[in-house]
Structure 1
């Protein structure tokens, strides 16, 4: 993928996030809470897997 397209997509994503947080702060907060919960579940699963390997 050309560098220009990557930069364009990145700036578009950043602009969307700013717009989303400015005009729908409750929705943005719920989205980030959901992403955080998913990342924590992944980390917990990885930790459980590594613990199982060690025992």
Structure 2
């Protein structure tokens, strides 16, 4: 992807995210919380996997 197109796409995504947060902050917070829960669940699962390898 050319540099100019990548920069434009990045700004479009940033503007959209700002619009989404301003328009519905509660919904945006719920989405961030859900993403955080998925990430933390993945790390916890990986930790259990490594722990089971050690035992």
TM-score by length of 2: 0.85
CA-CA distance at 1:42 after TM superposition: 0.5
Matched, 1:14 2:46: no
What stretches of structure 1 of length at least 5 have no aligned partner?
none
Aligned length: 55
What stretches of structure 2 of length at least 5 have no aligned partner?
none
CA-CA distance at 1:22 after TM superposition: 0.5
TM-score by length of 1: 0.85
What CA distance in whole angstroms lies between the structure 2 residues aligned with 1:53 and 1:37? 24
Q: Runs of 4 or more off by more than 6 Å in structure 1?
A: none
Corresponding residue number in structure 1 for 2:5: 5
**Over aligned residues, Cα RMSD in angstroms?**
1.1
Corresponding residue number in structure 2 for 1:43: 43
How big is each residue's C-alpha offset from its partner over 1:32-54, in whole Å with a ceiling of 9 and x where there is no partner? 00000000100101111111111
Matched, 1:30 2:33: no
CA-CA distance at 1:13 after TM superposition: 1.4
